[in-house]
Amino acid sequence: MAEHYCLLETELGVCGIAWTGQGLSRLQLPEADRAATERRLQKRAPATRCDALPAKIAAVVAQVRRYAAGEKLEFTDVDLDLAETSAFHCRIYEALRRVGWGHTSTYGALAREVGAPDAARAVGQAMGRNPIPLIIPCHRVLASGDKVGGFSAFGGAITKQRLLALEGVHLGSGTPLLPGLLPAGR
């Protein structure tokens, strides 16, 4: 199925989304700059750039922009195209989509929820391969003991903490990171 993409300006930086006729297939969080975001989005699979967005995709773009500006919203109504995703990862992503704004889960809790209590590492691998962050909110998954854990997006754990802070979740006793701020060199 043909895949298209667009870039969008948000309060977090330039994001990218890709879609097929089935639904959203990828979301790229901001990289160092616009060109890097586009390159990363294109790296996973070829897609055609499209500036005339279908209505459903334009609605997703608007939602992502509102989310990045701090509006409390969920993406549970967004249609996804996970055709290239394993059945196990799809089960994990489905469970994760039920973790709401301002809430977190752990790798172990998600593993138990999908009936694989010894698969916390596999859940971590699914988070690292998540093609649609924010919509499938992998930033809401913490390591045991409410530690931040890893995050595969540009900026790593700091980006994860920024997204959590946007939702009012602050880990540890440090000052919460504000949206739009990345440390130098990241």
Q: 185 or 152: whose pLDDT is higher?
A: 152
Alpha-carbon span 24 to 9, nearest angstrom: 18
Q: Could you read off the pLDDT of 140-179 as tens digits, one per residue?
A: 999 988 888 889 899 999 999 999 999 999 887 554 444 4
Q: Residue 173, class by beta-carbon neighbours within 10 Å (0-12 exposed, 13-18 middle, 19+ buried)? A: exposed
pLDDT band at 180 (very low <50, low <70, confident <90, very high): very low
Domains along the chain? 4-68 (3.30.160), 87-166 (1.10.10.10)
Mean pLDDT of 97-102: 94
Q: Yes or no: say if 17 and 61 are a contact pair by the CB < 8 Å rule.
A: yes
pTM over 0.75? The answer is yes
Looking at residue 80, the DSSP 8-state letter turns out to be: B
Q: Where in the sequence numbering do the catalytic residues fall?
A: 138
Q: 100 forms bridges with which residues in the sheet?
A: none
Q: Could you read off the pLDDT of 128-142 as tens digits, one per residue?
A: 999 999 999 999 999
Query: Residue 144 has which token pair?
Result: 């045991």
The identity of residue 139, as a single letter, is: H
